[in-house]
């Protein structure tokens, strides 16, 4: 009888540990996202003295990487996410990333990757809901680039031509997985306006 009772307690403890792992993971990622938002807010605010981003806790990026933060907003799907420059697994688990490291908003094809995510308004979960004509806003802190969505298609993972620059127009391309993970959703838009943010 004691053995069954001990075994039951062990299973309860294992269950609690397994249950707490994703909660801890989400809490940690939430702190990192909040820190990135704080860094972006400081960079975007007019300041007389240089901003010391090293004072922000819970950020795994260096000062140079923090200075390069870009924010993507698509109001129609409630998307408001920071974009990191390097598409590493760590960065992709946290937020959206550029696909091409040296790209610049407003020039060529600004490409963005993001996981589908499993929670509302997280990563690119709602990207398939974007409609033609919707607006996407890339904010660099000093300028906002306004793109109008022109297409949303399902493509194979090997169809990388959607990432190529178009010499005739500035574009944005956003990529995420389909629910099955076997294909990709590619949403494209064309630059229609540039506004100064400050």
Question: CA-CA-CA-CA torsion for 83, 84, 90, 92, nearest 10 degrees?
Answer: 30
pLDDT of residue 24 exceeding 60: no
Give residues with Cβ within 8 angstroms of 127, minimum separation 6: 77, 79, 114, 116, 174, 176, 185, 187
SS3 11: helix
- Domain boundary at 20, 49, 66, which? 66
**Shared-domain flag, residues 46 and 98:** no
**Shared-domain flag, residues 109 and 134:** yes
The 10s digit of each residue's pLDDT in 85-107 is 888 888 888 889 999 888 889 99
Domain count, the chain: 2
Query: Rounded to an integer, what distance in angstroms lies between the CA atom of residue 174 and that of residue 125?
Result: 12
* For the chain, percent of residues with pLDDT exceeding 90: 39
**Shared-domain flag, residues 62 and 77:** no
What is the distance, to the nearest Å, from the Cα of residue 95 to the centroid of all Cα atoms in its chain? 3
CATH number at residue 183: 2.40.260.10
Q: What angle do CA 94, 119, 114 make, to 5 degrees?
A: 40
**Shared-domain flag, residues 113 and 156:** yes
- Domain boundary at 10, 35, 66, which? 66
Picking from 50, 51, 49, 25, the residue whose alpha carbon sits closest to that of residue 38 is 51
Query: Rounded to an integer, what distance in angstroms lies between the CA atom of residue 99 and that of residue 105?
Result: 13
> pTM of the full predicted structure?
0.75
**Shared-domain flag, residues 59 and 75:** no
**Shared-domain flag, residues 134 and 59:** no
Contact 172, 114 (CB under 8 A): no
**Shared-domain flag, residues 61 and 72:** no
**Shared-domain flag, residues 34 and 44:** yes
pLDDT of residue 110 exceeding 90: yes
**Shared-domain flag, residues 40 and 75:** no
**Shared-domain flag, residues 136 and 159:** yes
- Domain boundary at 46, 66, 86, which? 66
pLDDT of residue 32 exceeding 70: no
pLDDT band for position 162 (50/70/90)?
A: very high
**Shared-domain flag, residues 189 and 100:** yes
Range(s) of the domain holding residue 40: 1-66
- As separate numbers, helices (DSSP H) first and strands (DSSP E) second, the chain gives 3, 8
**Shared-domain flag, residues 150 and 187:** yes
């Amino acid at each position: 009888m004691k053995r069954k009772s001990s075994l039951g307690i062990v299973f309860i403890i294992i269950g609690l540990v397994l249950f707490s792992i994703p909660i801890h993971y989400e809490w940690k990622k939430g702190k990192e996202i909040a820190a990135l938002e704080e860094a972006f807010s400081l960079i975007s605010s007019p300041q007389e003295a240089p901003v010391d981003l090293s004072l922000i806790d819970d950020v795994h990026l260096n000062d140079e990487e923090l200075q390069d933060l870009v924010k993507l907003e698509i109001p129609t799907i409630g998307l408001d996410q920071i974009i990191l420059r390097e598409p590493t697994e760590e960065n992709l688990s946290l937020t959206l990333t550029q696909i091409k490291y040296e790209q610049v908003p407003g020039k060529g094809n600004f490409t963005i990757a993001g996981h589908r995510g499993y929670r509302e308004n997280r990563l690119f979960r709602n990207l398939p809901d974007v409609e033609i004509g919707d607006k996407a806003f890339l904010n660099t802190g000093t300028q906002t680039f306004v793109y109008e969505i022109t297409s949303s298609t399902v493509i194979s993972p090997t169809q990388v031509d959607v990432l190529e620059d178009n010499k005739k127009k500035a574009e944005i391309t956003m990529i995420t997985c389909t629910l099955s993970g076997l294909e990709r959703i590619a949403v494209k838009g064309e630059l229609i306006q540039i506004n100064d943010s400050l």
